[in-house]
Amino acid sequence: MDPDRTATQPATGAAVTPVYDDAVVKMFFTATVVWALVGMLVGVIIALQLAWWPANLGLPWTTFGRLRPLHTNAVIFAFAGNVCFTGIYHSTQRLLKTRMFNDTLSRIHFWGWQGIIVAAAVTLPLGLTQAKEYAELIWPIDVAITVIWVVFAINFFGTLARRRVKHMYVAIWFYMSFVLTIAVLHIFNSLAIPATLVRSYPVYAGMTDALVQWWYGHNAVGFFLTTPFLGLMYYYLPRAAERPVYSYRLSIIHFWALVFLYIWAGPHHLLYSALPEWAQTLGMVFSIMLLAPSWGGMLNGLLTLKGAWNKLRSDPILKFMVVAVSFYGMSTFEGPMMSIRAVSGLAHYTNWVIGHVHSGALGWVGMISFGMLYWMVPRIFGREVRHPTWVSHHFWLATIGIVLYTVAMWAAGLMEGLQWRAINDAGQLANPIFLDITARLEPFLWLRLIGGTMYLVGAIMMAINFWQTIRGSGRPVEAAARAA
Amino acid sequence: MADEQNNGAHESETAYGRFHRRVLEGRAAVFAIATTVAISIGGIVEIVPMFSASLGPETIAEVTPYTPLEQAGRDIYVREGCYLCHSQMVRPMRAEILRYGEWSRAWEYQYDRPFQLGSRRLGPDLHRVGGKYPDAWHYEHMRDPRATSPGSVMPAYSWLLDWTTDPADVTASVRALSKLGHPYESTDEEWVRGQMQSQGETIVANLAQTGIETSWDREIIAVIAYLQRLGTDGRRVLEARETAQAEEADAADDTRTADASEVSGAGGSR
Ligand code: HEM
Ligand code: HEM
């Protein structure tokens, strides 16, 4: 029922809680909060650069072209990555009722990953890049990622091997697909011949390179920003709601359908391109089918709250989670629509895609993470959150911020998409000057900046709140509650 | 059972549920293998055929690799992250063809490593920019985008005017690329430097006509060489094909008009 109900009633009689390695959870937790602020701050900076070009500062290291990959890498691999590791190290031990396989491996994973992030933060502004979205890091860092990922995989599967429950809970399935698939994606997309220590050329050329990259890119979304977070949803949402997961059958069906279908969808990034027609069609068809298992996950999450809806009114943690799952549903509806060739014809290249990205990233990834962190802090640090009302403020700042961000981007994207293609009665472009259209985007870019800033301010409030909680001004949690 | 954590609130057991629990949830290795199989199929089906001549992207002999100077410019394009604002893929749509020119063919990219299609158009597409503007326009534009394009949001790249390219470094690139099958006449540093210098001097001479003084080893020269190359192979090949087709059609028309019984012309639908 409750995902790890029995963790509080150890079969052996001895207290089980102390055997868990929560120190590493706290380390990943701290890294998460720090990188969240860094990644989102860079997001706000590049949003400003697009609205007001002088913010590029005239320095090589601070131009949009160099900072944008810093933003994407920081939010995906540093923020979202550390969130996943925090949740996985915390929940896996409890779900399997055992300590992580090896404490040293846990530490190597932690420090190795943070080292990779620091290396990314240094190299990207220097312009050292492989220029593949979400796989920009230069080859020596790619090698390091492979090594650290193998360490993580050994640690994770080692823990599975010594679990003290017979059956693996659904969250574990999703974590497993994360560990395995990211390894496959990273290795095959990174194959390259080095020219120097900092430069290399991919073994694939042209459209093949593009296809491999978007096979990777779409599944970075699928297996870095979706499956581990669904795993987190399956653990933390039932715990926060104190309700069992709605449907076991649905978990089985949507898990297998999701992992099978996701991999095919990459070519929806290359519609109308020179990619062979058959591959474009496969990508489009599988993307549309992907709606079903995505909504399976959303429904399983939302319906878990059946009978607990009243809690939603008073509990900001559940609010974060419910808004997250709703945005997950929305962006996984929008994505398949954008995969239809004709819709892609309008949306591709425009700000609409940015709206879609951030409804998934801010709405789904960000909100489920905040919900999980607020739920976890009292339980791992033993103190109640210092400013409970700030949690609500954070929730509203973030929610309104997302709405401003995405609405601005949808409007901007639709407008530019239509104006780029508009043809007048004489059969000529209605807006022959590209920059005329760019100028009309400006108000929307400022609106996005306001929305993004609100989101960042919410995250800063969270960080201060946690800081004060942990530094000792939070009220100690009662022992019984803490045992979770 | 204590560990039936997965069970939904009021669900009855199903056969596949029992199977899933017994065969997969109880055995991590089996579960891991099944997952790996499930996530591999789509990738294999889509990617492996890319390496076959009939199903993969077309390649043609008329397209040649970038010269060392152009490749150096391309590496700067990559370094500065130009692809984050500019696409290099004209879609086969009326408005795009009007705005940018011929739509992009797969074989035009056959020496593109990494590919630079891009996924955003914060600025215009660049796939057909080669030959569109004079060299001096690019020089001014990179120095101060608003000097040539009022209202542009592009950052200024004035350091490209000062920073220099290093033939030794470019040689390393040429060597790596030739390992990947790019046909270069030579991979000697002397050859690379000579190529860079002679192509660079032409651009320097063009710039001198508008009073711009610079030298062949500046990064801006490499960038200009790259930008002026973009899309030109494609245009050349497509134009040649069109001419050939037109000649063929003319020839066909000639034979037909000779045959008095033939009424309708053939070339009309081209
Ligand atoms: C304070 C919050 C944030 C702001 C202000 C922000 C802003 C931006 C901006 C301005 C861009 C470039 C858009 C363009 O090319 O026109 C961008 C891209 C991107 N951001 Fe964010 N961002 C924020 C948070 C996040 C988070 C939390 C994530 C992920 C978890 C994320 C993921 C991405 C991704 C993946 C892209 C690249 C999109 C693409 O290539 O199409 N962002 N962001
Ligand atoms: C069923 C699920 C989904 C489908 C079928 C889908 C489909 C798409 C499509 C068609 C694009 C536009 C590509 C383009 O025109 O350039 C796109 C872009 C993107 N989506 Fe989704 N999407 C889905 C869910 C999500 C979710 C949940 C997230 C975030 C957590 C997400 C993140 C992104 C990102 C980061 C991009 C930008 C890629 C780039 O251009 O750099 N997507 N998606």
By the 8 A CB rule, do A166 and A160 touch? Answer: no
A130–B14: do the CB atoms touch at under 8 Å? Answer: no
B233 in any annotated domain: yes
Residues A335, A286: Cα–Cα separation, whole Å:
12
In A52-169, alpha helices (H)? 64-73, 81-96, 103-123, 139-161
Q: Which residue from B81, B71, B82 is spatially nearest to B165, judged by alpha carbons? A: B71
B149–A435: do the CB atoms touch at under 8 Å? Answer: yes
Q: Which residue from B122, B151, B98, B103 is spatially nearest to A413, judged by alpha carbons? A: B122
Q: φ, ψ for residue A238 (rounded to 5)?
A: -60, -35
What secondary structure, in 3-state letters, does B180-207 show? CCCCCCCCCHHHHHHHHHHHHHHHHHHH
Residues B49, B77 within the same domain? no
Predicted structure pTM score: 0.94
Q: Which residue from A114, A113, A88 is spatially nearest to A101, judged by alpha carbons? A: A88
Residues of A in contact with B127 (CB under 8 A): none
Residues A399, B148: Cα–Cα separation, whole Å:
41
Residues B134, B211 within the same domain? yes
**C-alpha neighbours within 13 Å on the C-beta side of residue A443:** 4
Residues B162, B109 within the same domain? yes
Q: DSSP string of B30-91?
A: HHHHHHHHHHHHHHHHHHGGGGSTTTS----TT--PPPHHHHHHHHHHHHHTGGGT------
Residues B36, B91 within the same domain? no
Q: In a structure prediction context, what are the per-residue pLDDT tens digits for chain A, which is 484 residues long?
A: 344 443 333 334 444 444 899 999 999 999 999 999 999 999 999 999 999 999 999 999 999 999 999 999 999 999 999 999 999 999 999 999 999 999 999 999 999 999 999 999 999 999 999 999 999 999 999 999 999 999 999 999 999 999 999 999 999 999 999 999 999 999 999 999 999 999 999 999 999 999 999 999 999 999 999 999 999 999 999 999 999 999 999 999 999 999 999 999 999 999 999 999 999 999 999 999 999 999 999 999 999 988 888 899 999 999 999 999 999 999 999 999 999 999 999 999 999 999 999 999 999 999 999 999 999 999 999 999 999 999 999 999 999 999 999 999 999 999 999 999 999 999 999 999 999 999 999 999 999 999 999 999 999 999 999 999 998 777 788 755 555 4
A350–B121: do the CB atoms touch at under 8 Å? Answer: yes
Atom of ligand 1 nearest to the CA of A41: 1
Residue B10 pLDDT > 70, yes or no?
no
**What is the per-residue pLDDT for B5?**
53
Q: Fill in the DSSP letter of residue B13.
A: P
Residues B83, B217 within the same domain? yes
By the 8 A CB rule, do A79 and A35 touch? Answer: yes
**C-alpha neighbours within 13 Å on the C-beta side of residue B40:** 10
Determine which residue's CA is closest to atom 39 belonging to ligand 1: A354
Calculate the average pLDDT of chain A.
94
Residues B47, B75 within the same domain? no
Residue B6 pLDDT > 90, yes or no?
no
Q: For residue A433, what are the contacts with CB-CB under 8 A and spacing of at least 6? A: none
**What is the per-residue pLDDT for B256?**
62
Q: For residue B75, what are the contacts with CB-CB under 8 A and spacing of at least 6? A: A199, B173
Distance A10 CA to ligand 1 centre (A): 44
Residues B78, B50 within the same domain? no
Reported ipTM: the value is 0.93
Q: For residue A373, what are the contacts with CB-CB under 8 A and spacing of at least 6? A: A29, A32, A33, A83, A86, A462, A466
By the 8 A CB rule, do A417 and A355 touch? Answer: no
What element of type H or E holds B152?
none
B45–A282: do the CB atoms touch at under 8 Å? Answer: yes
By the 8 A CB rule, do B165 and B219 touch? Answer: yes
Structurally, chain B folds into a number of domains equal to 2
Which residue range forms the structural domain that includes residue B27? 2-55
**C-alpha neighbours within 13 Å on the C-beta side of residue A299:** 15
Residues A36, B237: Cα–Cα separation, whole Å:
50
The vertex-A211 CA angle with B177 and A350, nearest 5°, equals: 110
**What is the per-residue pLDDT for B201?**
98
CA A359 to chain centre: 11
Residue B2 pLDDT > 70, yes or no?
no
What element of type H or E holds A198?
none
3-state secondary structure of B214: coil
**What is the per-residue pLDDT for A477?**
82
User: CA distances (Å), B252 to each of B238, B245, B263, B266, in order?
Assistant: 21, 10, 13, 8
CATH number of the domain bearing residue B73? 1.10.760.10
Residue B9 pLDDT > 70, yes or no?
no
Outline where DSSP puts E strands in A207-287: none
For A352-389, give one letter per residue: b (16+ CB within 10 A) or e.
Answer: bbbbbbbbbbbbbbbbbbbbbbbbbbbbbbbbebbbee
pLDDT in tens, B100-116: 999 999 999 999 999 99
Local confidence band at B11 (pLDDT 50, 70, 90 cut-offs): confident
Residues B163, B234 within the same domain? yes
Q: DSSP string of A150-193?
A: HHHHHHHHHHHHT-SSSS--HHHHHHHHHHHHHHHHHHHHH-EE
B247 in any annotated domain: no
Domains of chain A in start order, with CATH, are 23-483 (1.20.210.10)
Residue B270 pLDDT > 50, yes or no?
no
pLDDT in tens, B159-188: 999 999 999 999 999 999 999 999 999 999
Residue B1 pLDDT > 60, yes or no?
no
Protein residues with CB under 6 Å of any ligand 1 atom:
A 40, 43-44, 46-47, 50, 68, 71-72, 75-76, 80, 133, 353-354, 357-358, 361-362, 365-366, 452, 455-456; B 119-120, 122
Local confidence band at B42 (pLDDT 50, 70, 90 cut-offs): very high
Chain B: give the shortest CA distance to residue A344, in Å. 11
Residues B102, B201 within the same domain? yes
Residues B39, B128 within the same domain? no
B79 in any annotated domain: yes
Which of A357, A359, A438, A445 has most ligand 1 atoms within 8 Å of its beta carbon, as the pocket-test mutant? A357
B83 in any annotated domain: yes
SS3 content of chain B, % helix, strand, coil (to 5): 55, 0, 40
The dihedral region occupied by A137, where left means phi > 0, alpha psi between -120 and 50, and beta the remainder, is beta
Distance A337 CA to ligand 1 centre (A): 21
Residues B15, B47 within the same domain? yes
- Number of Cβ within 10 Å of residue B121's Cβ equals 22
Q: Which residue of A has its CA nearest to B48?
A: A208
Residues B133, B181 within the same domain? yes
